[in-house]
Every structure is written in structure tokens, then in C-alpha cells.
Structure 1
Amino acid sequence: MQEQHKKDDGLQHDELKIIIRSNDNPYPSADIQIKQLQPRKLTSYFIVLIESGSITYNIDLQDFHLTDGHLLFAMPNQILIPPEKKDDLKYFKLLFDENTLALLPQQFSFLVNPLNNQAIVLDSAAKERVIKVLGILNQIIHADNYDIDTEVILAYLNTLLSELNSAYFRNKEPLNILNVNLSKFIEFKLVVETHLTEQPSINEIAEKLALSTNSLYRIVKEYSGSSPKDYFINRLMAEAQRKLRYSNTSIKELAYELGFNDPDYFSRLFKKSTGKSASDFLPRQDLSGK
């Protein structure tokens, strides 16, 4: 998110990197609205709640159809393709960065998406509570009196994320979000993200997590439905698809960038994993928004 200093833009609080938009506070100019429709790699957490109406978002090449009470969240480094807004749509959009998240008094497991489901369907009571909190945040951040203590904003953000964390795990039986296995799976996902292009072996990852390879296999299989090796390859191939489609990197350059010594092997693995050749993702779109 770029730094914003104009109060009438209302895009973020001066001390917190937090942005909120709704029907009451849409993007202020046609140029900004057009730019917001460009495919882009997220640098912050993104949440959109549909209060009424329906719309389809695309995240990492996957469509998410949202309607009343549906909430979609995305994480930094994912590719977001926003849709054109419909006139009958009532919504809230919220973005906040890692530094803002770090100021909250607790962690929220759903933000690393351990169950691989980025859409949350809120029941009527939860939807009403979430809308109220988002409405208060919207009012505070866009208020004429902008001298609001950051602790107030953080308190409401913490309440919102607590509500969403509960809704994310509510229908999963049985699951304690604080259990050791889930914590290890979250650690596994973080290791994958941090060391993706280094391509560590599964044995090396297990050692980093102080697990046996059998325990790692069992945990990753439980929460993702795939083996650690398949999870890692799928994540690597998803990154390859992003870069092929949204950057000017050649297939050979991309292979080396992702840690492959043999571009031909990369191409074969890509075809085996995705069912398509890497060249099928060319030509690519421009993410610059210019």
C-alpha cells in the first residue's frame, strides 16, 4: 500500500497501514477505480464482505463467487484480480499490513489458511456482528475528526479478526486451533513460503520443525489432504503460474529463479503438475497498472 497523506482520500490511518472501503466511501476518482481493477500482487491482507448482492473475485487463478454473508480473505503475495463493482452490491473491503497485524494482542490462525479455504460463509448472527464492526471501523477511519487513538482502531480490528477466526474453524470437526498439530502445520506452511526457491528436502523441513518425516507427513496430510512433497510442489507450481502469467520472466529464467538447475526438468514437472505446458500461460498480463 502506498503512503497516503491526504485526509480527503481517507485511504489509511496516519499511524496504521489500514484501508477500508464501502458503498459509503468508494474510491474517490475514476483513475483510482480503474487502477484498482488491475491484477496485482497483494502486499497486505485483503478482506471483502458482501452484505447484499453477488460478485466473483479471482485469487491465484481461482474464482470465488460471493453473495450475501460471504466473506473472502487473501494474504500477502497472492495475485488478486478484482471484478468490476455492480451497482446493486453492498460491501466492505478491508486491507491491513503485517506491521498492523503485529500490534494486535493475539495471533489469528485463519490468516495462514490452514484448511485451504479462503471463503467464509457467515451465519445471520455473525454477519450482523461483522457488519457492525466493519461499519464502526469505516466510520472511525473516515471521520472528519481524524484524531482517533490507534488503540481504538486496533481494538475493533482485533474484535473483527476474532469473529472471523471463529467462523473459519466453526464447522470443522473436531479442531482445536491451538493444538500442536495445527501449530506445526502452520509452521510448515511458513517454512515453505520462506524457503520456497531453495527447495529444501522434506527431511530438512522435518528437521526444522523438530519432527520425524512420518509425523510431518501425517500432519500435512491431515490439514491439506496431500503429502508434504506434493504440497511443496503444488505451491512451487502455483508460484510458477503466477510469474508466467503476470511477469516478463521467460520459462528458462523462471526455472532458475525457482531453484531448478535443469529448465527441461522444470518444464516436465510443470506439465505433469498442472496438465498444461508452461508456454500455455503466455502471453502474460501487466501488473503495473500503468
Structure 2
Amino acid sequence: MKEQKGKQEGLQHDELGIKIRSNDNPYLSADLQKKLLQPRKLSSYFIVLIESGTITYNIDLQDFTLTDGHLLFAMPNQLLTPPAKTDNLKYFKLLFDENTLALLPQQFSFLVNPLNAQTIVLDSAVKERVIKVFGILNQLFLLDKQETDTEIILAYLNTLLSELNSAYFKNREPVNLLNTNLSKFIEFKLVVETSLTEQPSINAIAEKLALSTNSLYRIVKEYSGTSPKDYFINRLMTEAQRKLRYSNTSIKDLAYELGFNDPDYFSRLFKKSTGKSASDFLPRQDLSGE
């Protein structure tokens, strides 16, 4: 903790990489909302809790419908399509970056989603506690700007993430982030994100991670339920779908942009992976995320 406190010295409240939104600082005007409803790649961790009401978010082109006591979280590099606000919605949204996470006294294994479940359904007691902590954080950022000690904010963030980590692994054994296999899986995910359009071979990725191809297969299969090759292709196809839907890129140009030398091969792989032709994803007009 000494090292972490040292990192905090001189750090001002408004310099923390945290943002929080709720009904106390509600959605923007309809015109501004429309500009913000474009899909985007997250650069921070994202958490939304629905206190009451129903709304649908889209993460990596998959819909998640949330209602009372439901919480959704997403990680950096995932694709988020924000929804338009629905009526009678009470919610809390939180974003925080890796630098802020590094200031906390412990690690939270749920944030790497080892169980492949991006939603958490909170029971009534946990929901009540989590809402209280969200409310305190919201108050600190909304009302007490520049007046609250940074360590107090981090303490409440640590409490919130502890509650969510416990709820995520309820009736299951929490994953140790120091586990070598999980660490390698996290490294694998990072390599995928940073070299997506270069399309390195699985052998090259395994070599970069100082693993045999068999070991890499076993690790990725354990934490994602799929092979390294399929994981990479699925991530590449998700990026392709996003670009086809929300940009004016042609299928041919997109194939080259994603590292394919043969646009026809890209089209065949896209249909095999998604069950639809690439042209089926050329642009839709409704960006509401509903």
C-alpha cells in the first residue's frame, strides 16, 4: 500500500479517471444524445446499474436487456452502442480507467470476465448496499467537487468493486488473478487487440507469450470456451460488423483494412462466422441501440 499511496500524492480529485452519471445528472438533450449514440470502442471500464425501469445496451453487437437490480459491465476495447434513455429509468453509470484501478489496494478478477457473463443480477440486500455506495460516489462527484480527499473516493470505489466481485462469483470460487493461466489469457486478449489487423498466426502469438500452441489452446479454451483461432476470428468479425454498420467503408476496402489480401476470402469467412453476408450489415439508419 505504501507504493500505491505514493502514487496518490498530489493527485487531485478531478484528475482521477472516473466518471459517474445518474438521475441527478441526467441524460443530455435529444440532439446531443443522437451524436453520442454512435458505437464506440471503450477506453475505460464501464458499469451500469439499473435501480428501476428497463433498458437495452449493446456490447460487441450483443443486446443486454437490463431491469431492476441488473448490472452490466464492460471492459476496455469492447464495442459499446449506448441506448436512448427510456421512460421512468433510475440508474447509475460509472467509468474508470486502468490508472485509477491501479491505485486500489486489491485486484478484482470479475473485471476480466472469466465466467463469460457480463451481467450480474443483484439480490435485494446486495442491491441496497450497492445503490448506497453508488449514491455516495455520485454525491462526492456531483456536490463535493475539489473538496473530497482522493483516498475517500478510492475507498468507496474499492468497496463497490468488492461487492460486485463477490456477487459475480456467488456460489463459485473467485479466480486468483495471480493464476498463471489467467494471466496468460489476459496477455492473449491484449495481443489480439493490439495486432488485430496484422492477423498474426496462432504459432506467433504462442511464441510471443512464451507458450506452446497446445498450452495456449488449453488456456484460451478454459477462459473463453473457444480455440485461440476462433477467438481471434470472432473478434475480427465483430470489428468487421461494427465498421460495416456504422461507417461508409466498402466491403472490399474493409477487407484490406482488416488485413485480408483477398476480399472474396474475407466475404466467405464473414458469412461462415456470422451466418450472414457482409452486405446484410451495410448501414442501417437506426442508431438508437434498441
Moved more, 120-129 or 76-85: 76-85
Q: 225-234 or 163-172: which moved more?
A: 163-172
Unaligned runs of 5+ in 1: 1-12
> CA 1:256/1:172 → structure 2, altered by over 3 Å: closer, same or farther?
farther
**Whole-Å separation in 1 of the counterparts to 2:250 and 2:56:** 30
Distance 1:84 1:123 in 2: 27
- What is the distance in 2 between the residues matched to 1:223 and 1:171? 18
Identity rate of aligned residues, in percent?
87
Query: Higher mean Cα deviation, 57-66 or 161-170?
Result: 161-170
Structure 1 SS opposite 2:95: strand
Partner of 1:278: 278
Q: Cα RMSD (Å) of the superposition?
A: 2.5
Structure-2 residue corresponding to 1:128: 128
Q: Which residue of 2 aligns with 1:261?
A: 261
Deviation for aligned residue 1:143: 0.9
Change (3 A) 1:57 1:231: same
1:47 Cα deviation after fit: 1.0
- Residue 70 of structure 2: aligned partner: 70
Q: Match of 1:10?
A: none
Aligned to 1:44: 44
Query: Is the deviation greater in 278-287 or in 130-139?
Result: 278-287
Q: CA deviation at 1:84?
A: 2.9
| C-alpha separation in 2, matches of 1:283 and 1:236 | 18
Per the alignment, residue 8 of structure 1 pairs with: none
What's 1:7 paired with?
Answer: none
Show CA shifts across 1:49-85 (max 9, x none). Answer: 0112222112222111111211001223333223332
Contact 2:73 2:118 in 1 (8 A): yes
Cα distance, 1:30 vs structure 2: 4.9
How far is the alpha carbon of 1:100 from its aligned partner? 2.6
Number of aligned positions between the proteins: 276
Is the Cα–Cα contact under 8 Å of residues 109 and 174 in structure 2 kept in the other structure?
no
1:209 and 2:209 are equivalent in the alignment: yes
Q: CA 1:253–1:34 in structure 2 vs 1: closer, same or farther (change >3 Å)?
A: closer
Judging changes above 3 Å, is the alpha-carbon distance between structure 1 residues 224 and 41 closer, same or farther for their aligned structure 2 residues? closer
User: Residue type of the partner of 1:261?
Assistant: N
Which structure exhibits the higher relative contact order, with contacts defined as CA atoms closer than 8 Å and separated by 6 or more residues? 2
Partner of 1:246: 246
Report the CA distance shift for 1:191/1:171 in structure 2 as closer, same or farther (over 3 A).
farther
C-alpha distance in 2, partners of 1:139/1:227?
45
Q: Secondary structure at the match of 1:104?
A: coil
| Aligned amino acid, residue 256 of structure 2 | Y
Shift of 1:286: 9.5
Deviation at residue 174 of structure 1 after TM alignment: 7.6
- TM score, norm. by length of structure 1: 0.85
Structure-1 separation of matches of 2:275 and 2:180: 36
Residue in structure 2 matched with residue 170 of structure 1 by the alignment: 170
Distance 1:46 1:223 in 2: 21
Alignment gaps of 5+ in structure 2: 1-12
Greater shift, 233-242 or 278-287, is seen at 278-287
Match of 2:4 in 1: none
Structure 1 residues 77 and 176: alpha-carbon distance in aligned structure 2, compared to 1, 3 A threshold: closer
Residue 196 of structure 1 corresponds to 196
Tell me, in whole angstroms, the C-alpha distance in 2 between the residues paired with 1:259 and 1:33: 34
> Which residue of 2 is the match for residue 15 of structure 1?
15
Helix, strand or coil at the partner of 1:220: helix
Measure how far apart 1:42 and its partner are.
2.9
Against the structure 1 CA distance between its residues 14 and 174, is the aligned structure 2 distance closer, same or farther, given a 3 Å change threshold? closer
Q: What's the counterpart of residue 10 of structure 2?
A: none
Counterparts in 2 of 1:161 and 1:174: CA distance versus 1, 3 Å = closer
Q: How far does residue 269 in structure 1 lie from its aligned partner after superposition?
A: 0.8
Does the CA-based 8 Å contact 1:247-1:286 persist in structure 2?
no
Q: TM-score if structure 2 supplies the norm length?
A: 0.85
- Structural mapping, 1:143-182, within 5 Å: 143-144=143-144, 146-172=146-172, 175-182=175-182
Partner Cα distance (2:150, 2:28) in 1: 24
